[in-house]
Amino acid sequence: MHKAPSAAPGTLLTALAADRGVVCLVGAGGKKSTMYALATAYAGRVALSSTAHMYRYDAERVDQVLVVEDGVPLSDPAARVVAYCGPTDTPQRVGGLTDRQLAEVAGRGEFGLMLIKADGARARWIKAPAEYEPLIPAWADTVIPVVSARVLGRRLDDGIAHRPERVAAVVGAALDAALEPKHLARLLSSAQGALKGVGAATVVPLINMVDDSTLLERARSAAELALASTTRFDRVVLAMMKEGRLVEIVQR
């Protein structure tokens, strides 16, 4: 079984306001790795799920996977990290759950933390939501919009972006233009971008894949510009979620 860490939950959980309750992840550039990192850092039982199709859960990161069809099955009390998914015929994928099914899981009180992947991005590093996205439950406590720092300096095309035309419209960049910190800031602070559908939830943007000092400088600039553009959130977290490592917290 995937045992909780011996130490108390660390700064990663508190920085992302993911130390309890229902936390939704949106955007692109590491939502699933963020789910796993938070589940590993959390000291209690964790439920993982999604509102959209996604790749299968990693058996090395999850103790039990439950397929939800007519009703929500009971989890094994000995399983610390439990994933809930819907059936699908798509190879190597699992289906998302409905709002009602997610509410049933959350309402049982079996888990201190529930992590929900609330949209898809086809493994790209940046996206802006379509009209029907994201599917965030109204009762979510926290929303974490994710974007990869690796897009900075890269051309805006379908190699890095899910729906690059939509990203271009939201951030004010031309297709094939190099993305700059100001473009990430616009995405994070836009009601048609990272703030779409967040409701009254606490919002903590995450700039992921901050792998080196150059990306750190650019990501920090993007975070500062985003904070200057909105009062909807008070900090932006810079991290390397595959390593579960907090790099920096940029605050207003």
Question: What is the per-residue pLDDT for 26?
Answer: 98
Give the global pTM: 0.94
* Long-range contact pairs involving 95-104 (C-beta distance under 8 Å, separation at least 24): 95/53, 96/49, 96/50, 96/51, 96/52, 96/53, 96/54, 96/135, 97/49, 97/50, 97/51, 97/68, 98/51, 99/51, 99/135, 99/137, 101/68, 101/72, 102/49, 102/51, 102/137, 103/137, 103/139, 104/72
Burial 113-148 (b: 16+ CB within 10 A, else e): bbbbbbbbbeebbbbbbeeebbbbbeebbbbbbbbb
The domain locations on the chain are: 11-251
Q: Is the pLDDT of residue 6 over 50?
A: no
How many CB atoms within 10 Å of residue 74?
9
Q: Is the pLDDT of residue 1 over 80?
A: no
Q: How sure is the predictor about 91, in pLDDT bands with cuts at 50, 70 and 90?
A: confident
Q: How sure is the predictor about 65, in pLDDT bands with cuts at 50, 70 and 90?
A: very high
At 225, which amino acid appears?
L
Q: Is the pLDDT of residue 89 over 90?
A: no
Question: What is the per-residue pLDDT for 2?
Answer: 56
In CATH, what class is 11-251? alpha beta
Q: Residues 194-229: pLDDT tens digits?
A: 999 999 999 999 999 999 999 999 999 999 999 999
Q: Residues 97-133: pLDDT tens digits?
A: 999 999 999 999 999 999 999 998 999 999 999 999 9
